[in-house]
């Protein structure tokens, strides 16, 4: 089968790595891809947001299945476009993409259907948002309505800081149209985790859990980022807690989608928090997470291409989504200055354009994988080309073993200004 994978980050390298192991795969194209995906298939210089050109490519190359990694093309309606042209694709429809594409509409959906989420209000007026924020006890959570690459959430520690954030979002338009509307909500105390669920529009199945490290600095300090690391499974999450989450959140979400006459096909990411009152939804994402995919895919004990075909053919109920009984830790290496201004084009020492190992073995040692994110090939050398550059992934029988492997491998990598957290998976 010929497969087109859309995206260019660490998530897409992890998905490409999983797809490349399928005996059913004959050719893998990645648009636009990175220096890592180039070792597993053929990179195609088409932006993930250039929907018409992607459809044209899929037609010309007679692609059997297209898999979408990032959220932007999903929200822009890539599923609808491909379906109109009879091209098989794994992605939710534009109608269902509001779950991630609009925090305001997602909150209204949860409220309407009694799905547990934080007390909140939505605003298009800066003055009204400030007035409401003053009625709340800090810390106060402020979210941009639209897509902001995982950075559109701020936690204000005072009313003055809340006003400053709202001014930045709504007046200075930090995220452009994405922050013209905002959600102001109460801060929920507890432990965050992510739960991934696959759906073919008829049935749904759990795919696993992960814990993401959003803050830039050790000890969960500094600004929010797209994610500085992740672990899977979540060590503190018991079967009883997972069962309660499914009962109170997952099952009601899919029941609500059916009630709204919305068919969901693809992967739905539940960003959750476990509080003293049980689980609450922080956010939905209409795709696999990044960097959570980098710790989930190595645990999949099934053929990733067959999994996607089961969704496309509405046969998910018969498909076994078994997970390997291992722990996986991912440490993100970022460019200096990320998530704000950063420079690109630095040569990454210790990385060569050789093939990516498919079994967690190779030049990095047993149980280590390197998934590229912001990388490019220049004069046969791998250079930095983004904010989050590499994902160093360790596999082990325990979190501590996986963590040790990841950090040992990370010590071999260097480039100018590189930054990473030293506490991913520690204290667990």
At 325, the pLDDT band (50, 70, 90 cuts) reads very high
Provide the whole-model pTM. 0.93
What mean pLDDT, rounded, does the chain reach?
94
Cα angle value 69/89/233 (rounded, 5°):
40
Q: Which of 175-184, 306-315, 404-413 has the highest mean pLDDT?
A: 306-315
Local structure of 197: helix, strand or coil: strand
Residues ≥6 apart with Cβ < 8 Å to 275: 188, 189, 190
Sign of the four-CA dihedral 304, 206, 149, 262 = positive
In this prediction, what percent of the chain has a pLDDT beyond 70? Answer: 96
Per-residue pLDDT tens over the stretch 340-358? 999 999 999 877 666 666 6
Q: How many CA atoms lie within 13 A of 325 on its CB side?
A: 0
At 220, the pLDDT band (50, 70, 90 cuts) reads very high
What pLDDT is recorded for position 427? 77
Token pair belonging to 38: 């180039």
Local structure of 30: helix, strand or coil: strand
What pLDDT is recorded for position 357? 66
More confident residue, 35 or 153: 35
DSSP code at position 261: T
- The whole-angstrom separation of Cα 428 and Cα 420 is 19
- The whole-angstrom separation of Cα 311 and Cα 315 is 6
Three-state SS sequence of 324-335: CCCEEEEEEEEC
What pLDDT is recorded for position 373? 97
Sequence-ordered strand ranges (E) for 70-203:
89-90, 120-123, 140-144, 153-156, 182-186, 191-200
More confident residue, 5 or 179: 5
- The whole-angstrom separation of Cα 248 and Cα 219 is 30
At 307, the pLDDT band (50, 70, 90 cuts) reads very high
Cα angle value 416/420/421 (rounded, 5°):
155
DSSP code at position 205: E
Domains of the chain: 2-95 (3.40.50.20), 119-186 (3.30.1490.20), 191-318 (3.30.470.20), 327-410 (3.90.600.10)
pLDDT at 87 over 70: yes
What pLDDT is recorded for position 147? 83
- The whole-angstrom separation of Cα 417 and Cα 428 is 29
- The whole-angstrom separation of Cα 219 and Cα 239 is 27
More confident residue, 328 or 154: 328
Per-residue pLDDT tens over the stretch 20-46? 999 999 999 999 999 999 999 999 999
Q: What is the mean pLDDT of residues 197-224?
A: 95
DSSP letters spanning 114-152 = T--B--EEEES-HHHHHHHHHTSPSSEEEEESS--TT--
Task: Please tell me the total number of residues recorded for the chain in this structure.
Answer: 428
Cis preceding linkage at 32, omega within 30: yes
Token pair belonging to 159: 């009313």
Angle between helices 126-134 and 159-166 (to 10 degrees): 160
Q: What is the mean pLDDT of residues 66-74?
A: 97
């Amino acid at each position: 089968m010929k497969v087109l994978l859309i995206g260019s980050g660490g998530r897409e390298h992890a998905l490409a790595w999983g797809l490349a192991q399928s005996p059913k795969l004959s050719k893998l194209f990645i648009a636009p891809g990175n220096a890592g995906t180039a070792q597993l298939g053929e990179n195609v210089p088409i932006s993930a947001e250039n929907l018409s050109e992607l459809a044209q490519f899929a037609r010309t190359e007679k692609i059997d299945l297209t898999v979408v990694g990032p959220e932007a093309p999903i929200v822009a309606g890539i599923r609808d476009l491909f379906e109109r042209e009879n091209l098989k694709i794994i992605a939710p429809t534009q109608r269902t993409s509001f779950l991630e594409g609009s925090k305001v509409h997602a909150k209204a959906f949860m409220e309407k259907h009694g799905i547990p989420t934080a007390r909140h209000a939505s605003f298009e007026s800066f003055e009204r948002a400030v007035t409401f924020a003053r009625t709340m006890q800090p810390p106060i959570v402020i979210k941009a309505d639209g897509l902001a690459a995982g950075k559109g959430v701020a936690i204000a520690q005072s009313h003055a800081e809340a006003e400053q954030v709202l001014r930045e979002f709504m007046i200075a338009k930090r995220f452009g149209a994405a922050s013209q509307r905002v959600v102001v909500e109460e801060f929920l105390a507890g432990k965050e985790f992510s739960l991934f669920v696959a759906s073919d529009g008829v049935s749904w199945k759990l795919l696993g859990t992960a814990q993401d490290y959003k803050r830039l600095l050790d000890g969960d300090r500094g600004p929010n980022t797209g994610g500085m690391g992740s672990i899977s499974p979540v060590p503190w999450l018991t079967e009883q807690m997972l069962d309660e989450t499914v009962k109170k959140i997952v099952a009601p979400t899919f029941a609500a989608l059916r009630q709204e006459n919305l068919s969901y096909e693809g992967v739905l990411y539940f960003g959750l928090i476990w509080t003293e009152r049980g689980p609450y939804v922080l956010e939905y994402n209409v795709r696999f997470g990044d960097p959570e995919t980098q710790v989930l895919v190595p645990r999949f004990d099934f053929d990733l291409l067959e999994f996607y075909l089961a969704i496309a053919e509405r046969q998910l109920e018969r498909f076994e989504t078994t997970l390997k009984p291992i722990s996986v830790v991912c440490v993100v290496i970022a460019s200096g200055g990320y998530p704000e201004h950063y420079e690109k084009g630095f040569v990454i020492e210790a990385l060569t354009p050789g093939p990516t190992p498919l079994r967690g073995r190779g030049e990095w040692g047993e149980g280590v994988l390197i998934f590229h994110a912001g990388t490019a090939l220049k004069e046969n050398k791998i250079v930095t080309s983004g904010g989050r550059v590499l994902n160093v992934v360790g596999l082990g029988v325990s979190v501590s073993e996986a963590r040790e492997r990841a950090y040992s491998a990370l010590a071999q990598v260097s480039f100018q200004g590189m930054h990473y957290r030293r506490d991913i998976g520690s204290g667990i």
